[in-house]
Amino acid sequence: MCSPNVAQVVRERIAREGVPQVSRRSFLRMGGLTAGGVAVASMLGPNKLNRMAVARAQEATEVIDLSHVFSVNVPTYLIGEGPKRETFVTVEQDGFYIQKWNFGEHAGTHVDIPAHFVADGTTVDNYDAVNLVSPAVVIDISAKAAEVADATLDVADIEAWESANGEIPAGAVVFLYSGWDAKWNEPEAFRNADADGVQHYPGFSPEAATFLVEQRDIHGIGVDTLSLDIGASTTFDVHVTVLGAGKFGIEGVANLAAIKDRQATVIVGVPRWEEGSGGPARVLALA
């Protein structure tokens, strides 16, 4: 996600406030290492599989696909930035079939990694794989999203979820379910831009992102829309907070309704794009 006409705002904010956005508590929990001023969770500790992810996998009976088809028609944050493909060879002509692809890293169901917003931040090829296997938490804000496109997942929504389910487990990926994925195959409705070109769809509130990074111990967050922030954001506070803390985001997630009331383990199958800011991924849940 990006838009040249708002880039200046982000750059100025980072210049003014710095990126870390990491509380002393979070910083110490992550071990206090820094790279370019940012704590890097992925460099820390042994490569141990999250125990809750394993415990939940024991109960799983199904593989749920949280990934949309990576298509030339996927909705994109910027108009005209859709992927392109061409047929390279075919079974009929050549004995086997291969396509060639051309795309930017933030298309389709894809991951945002710290380097997307953090100069010298961890790139996806070096991001620790242990963070890619996590317990999934799905917080349903579809009722308010149906009323107001700019709806946010707020701290109160997290508190309500925890009242019903207990505290968000360590190492979780926290997903926002807005129901927006039902519009995926209608790119204009998915972007939902107004007459001024401002997009309108749900996202995390900045306060909720800060709460998850500072008060909980998450691996990342995910949304069924085009951006971790609401579409109308010009400051990308959620991106800055989450990626600045060494966590990841997932945008364009499919099918969260299938796991929102279940215990699930999520596996984020993002290829190791060299020096990548993130990239297209296969996101699977065991539930």
Contacts to its own copies from residues 178-237, by CB under 8 A: 236
Q: How far is CA 116 from CA 27, 96, 97, 186, 242, in A?
A: 20, 36, 34, 27, 11
List, in order, residues 6 or more apart from 166 with CB less than 8 Å away.
none
Q: Is 221 helix (H, G, I), strand (E, B) or coil?
A: strand
- Compare residues 61 and 163 and give the one whose CB is closer to its own copies: 61
Q: Is 155 helix (H, G, I), strand (E, B) or coil?
A: helix
- The candidate with the shortest Cα–Cα distance to 247, out of 162, 170, 167, is 170
Residues 105-124 that bind its own copies (CB under 8 A): 105-106, 108-109, 115-119
> Running DSSP on this structure, what letter comes out for residue 45?
S
Question: Tokens at residue 269, please?
Answer: 């199958």
Q: Which stretch binds its own copies (CB under 8 A): 1-9, 156-164, 165-173, 176-184?
A: 1-9
State the Cα–Cα distance between residues 226 and 269, nearest whole angstrom. Answer: 19
| Cβ at position 98, least distance to its own copies in Å | 5
Question: Tokens at residue 12, please?
Answer: 């100025």
Position 257 contacts its own copies (CB under 8 A): no
List, in order, residues 6 or more apart from 264 with CB less than 8 Å away.
56, 60, 64, 135, 136, 138, 285, 286, 287
Residues 42-101 that bind its own copies (CB under 8 A): 47-49, 54, 57-58, 60-65, 67-72, 85, 88-89, 91-101
| Cβ at position 253, least distance to its own copies in Å | 13
**Side-chain-side CA neighbours of residue 198 (13 Å):** 9
Q: Which stretch binds its own copies (CB under 8 A): 23-31, 174-182, 186-194, 261-269?
A: 261-269
| Cβ at position 236, least distance to its own copies in Å | 8
Position 286 contacts its own copies (CB under 8 A): yes
Total chain residues near its own copies (CB under 8 A): 78
| Cβ at position 119, least distance to its own copies in Å | 4
Position 146 contacts its own copies (CB under 8 A): no
| Cβ at position 243, least distance to its own copies in Å | 9
Q: Which of 122, 199, 227, 277 binds its own copies (CB under 8 A)?
A: 277
Q: Which stretch binds its own copies (CB under 8 A): 7-15, 162-170, 173-181, 204-212?
A: 7-15
CB 115 within 8 A of CB 277: yes
| Cβ at position 137, least distance to its own copies in Å | 20
Question: Tokens at residue 165, please?
Answer: 């389910």
- Compare residues 103 and 161 and give the one whose CB is closer to its own copies: 103
